[in-house]
Amino acid sequence: MSGFFKQQYYGNTVAEWVTAGAVILGTFIGIKVVYFVFSRVIRKLTEKTTTRLDDVLVDVVESPVVAAITVGGIWIGVRTLNLPESGVRLVDGASLFCIVMCITWVFIRVIDAVFAEVLAPLAEKTDTDLDDQLLPVARKGSKLIVWVLGTIVALNNAGYNVGAVLAGLGIGGLALAMAARDTVANVFGGVTVFADRPFAVNDRIRISGYEGFVREIGIRSTRIETMDGPYVIIPNARFSESAVENVSIAAGLRSECVVGLTYDTEAPMVQRAKDIVEKIIEDHAETKLWDIGFESFGDFSLNIRAVYYVTGERRPLPVQSEVNMAVLEQFTAEGLDFAFPTQTLHVQSEAGDDAKPAKTNGKRAIDQARPTQKSP
């Protein structure tokens, strides 16, 4: 039996292969033990404490620790074998790379925990929403930086020439930046939006022919729910190139109500009509009167114009419809007549009598005097 274990395969005896396999198998058994300790022992202890910090730390380190133990056990098992020099460098480099990435993983999970358990609750307690908008961007940016630094350190420990890699990345990055200049412009546009704050989430804005409510502000683009319902994605570079109208900051959406009364309406009734329109707009919960007056003597009517703003989050047309319907009902009840196009034509009679006015409503008079001829 001892002779069997001394037989060599691929430069190692059977006993050495069995030892390496036993170490790797023991590693996986150890992983099961670690999972049991975390789930049945450590978690039970942390649940009894009043603070949540220990629970978060257990969640943070559990998976990376298991991964590190796995890598370490496999490395120990493989190193028990007789490997060529190139194989030793490969195994050592790969193991160091994986260990460093496991440590990086721990830092990433810590960042997630800090943002979720500490910074997010603090941001919710503040009155401003700037921190709520910046928090996701800071979270993703921090994780990206840690991943990049961790990868560079891991590659350096694995024996790679990181300087040459970074130099190559610099040249490639320049070419990529030239190709992706629109994306870079959108990112800088997002920074401008966060810095200048021309609008915030849930604000109603107008830009480039679109009008709607801001639902999400990202580092590259902004999502807007339009007044018609669909969502539109606006690249952030557009906000630095185009004028943005923040309707929420303004008094509201400007609108007008123009009514025309017939010319036989007396002055007190014109004043009464103006008062009715003014009261309707002032009493409406979603309108704010800006100006109103007897505007002009039109071709067919006495014109009253009211300028007001539609406030709130409702679409403007339903509010305008409610105002117009209320005006129509009140005018009908008060006996106020709306004007429509009329013309008064003076027709010369055949007998040469004085011209008589003929009033037409909305159309021209077509019956006119025709000349007659007398026989010689």
Distance from C-alpha of 281 to C-alpha of 146, rounded to nearest angstrom: 58
Whether residues 259 and 325 share a domain: the answer is: yes
Please indicate, yes or no, whether residues 242 and 120 belong to a single structural domain of this protein. no
Rg of the Cα atoms in the chain = 41
Asked whether residue 12 falls in the same domain as residue 145, the answer is: yes
Q: Could you read off the pLDDT of 353-376 as tens digits, one per residue?
A: 555 555 444 434 334 333 444 344
Residues 95 and 220 in one domain: no
Structure tokens at 196: 């200048």
76 and 124 fall within a common domain: yes
Residues 89 and 9 in one domain: yes
Asked if residue 362 belongs to a domain, the reply is: no
pLDDT in tens, 179-223: 556 666 777 777 777 767 777 777 778 887 888 888 888 777 888
Domain count, the chain: 3
Q: How far apart are CA 65 and CA 72, in angstroms?
A: 10
Residue 203 covered by a domain: yes
> Per the structure block, which two tokens stand in for 290?
């800006």
Res 202: pLDDT: 77
pTM above threshold 0.85: no
How sure is the predictor about 274, in pLDDT bands with cuts at 50, 70 and 90? very high
Instruction: Establish if 169 belongs to a structural domain.
Output: no
Average pLDDT, the chain: 77
* Domain stop point among 196, 215, 246: 246
167 belongs to a structural domain:
no
- Tell whether 76 and 216 lie within a shared domain: no
What CATH number corresponds to the domain at position 218?
Answer: 2.30.30.60
Residues 20 and 153 grouped into a single domain: yes
Question: pLDDT category, 178, cuts 50, 70, 90?
Answer: low
Token look-up 């997630």 returns 112
Lowest-pLDDT range of 52-66, 105-119, 176-190, 251-265: 176-190
Its domain, for residue 325, covers 253-334
Type and span of the H or E element at 260: strand 253-261
- What percentage of the chain exceeds 70 in pLDDT? 75
Q: Is the pLDDT of residue 224 over 80?
A: yes
Of the ranges 5-9, 92-96, 166-170, 241-245, which one carries the lowest mean pLDDT score? 166-170
Examine the domain organization and report whether 277 and 219 are in the same domain: no
In order, the DSSP letters of 28-54 are: HHHHHHHHHIIIIIIHHHHHTSS-SHH
Q: How far is Cα 96 from Cα 106, in angstroms, rounded to an integer?
A: 15
Question: Which residues, in sequence order, are CB contacts of 282 under 8 Å at separation 6+?
Answer: 289
CATH (domain of 298): 3.30.70.100
- CA quadruple 12, 15, 18, 22: dihedral, nearest 10: -120
